[in-house]
Chain A
């Protein structure tokens, strides 16, 4: 079992729909990141969460530390939101440094 699991793996929705992507993890973490990867491969960091909820524009990210679960929501989805969304958890290595462990991503396609 992977340390970070995302669902769904693929999601296709109509423009305007409310989107939810889920991330569950099994290790102790210091923070959780949501990343967006565009078709060309470039990656952009969307959020870093250690508790509660964050909002940026149409994007909302929540985390429940006790349940080891995070969700990324997109309101009023648009075709330009089409991308792969990746959940990553920040934890400590055996050397005491921090590292990121990534989920396999959710491929989102928004149809006009």
Chain B
């Protein structure tokens, strides 16, 4: 069966520090991978998606970046965190165009102080 992992579960970082959140998927090949952010009191916002290794598309301009070094690994990074980067970050995968379900990881709660 397919599973999706994220770590860490919670993170508290100072402003200006770097960030690396990792997401891995098991039990499937060549998934579409997604990073979402849910700010307090707001809906989910798509940040990045990837249809294959090294292929990253960004939906919104920001100081975050994403990388996909392996088929089932998706990394969200920042060189210098801002206060506004605080939120709940969710990784998700689906099987591609027309997929009827998108599967979400457990999320990482990031607090930038």
Interface positions of A (Cβ within 8 A of B): 2, 4, 30-31, 33, 35, 41-45, 48, 86, 88, 93, 95, 97-105
A-B contact pairs, 11 of them (CB 8 A): A30-B98, A31-B100, A41-B107, A41-B109, A86-B43, A86-B44, A88-B44, A102-B44, A102-B45, A104-B42, A104-B43
Number of interface residues of B (CB under 8 A): 25
The majority secondary structure among interface residues of chain B is: strand
| Given A48-B101, A93-B57: A41 and B88 interface contact (C-beta under 8 Å) | yes
- Give B contacts to A, CB under 8 Å: 32, 34, 36, 38, 42-46, 49, 51, 57, 59, 88, 90, 97-98, 100-104, 106-107, 109
Q: How many A-B contacts if CB must be within 8 Å?
A: 55
Q: Is the CB of B43 within 8 A of A48?
A: no
Determine if A97 and B43 form an interchain contact, defined as CB atoms under 8 angstroms apart. no
Q: Which of A93, A98, A102 contacts B43 (CB 8 A)?
A: A102
The reply to whether B90 and A103 form a contact with Cβ atoms under 8 Å apart is no
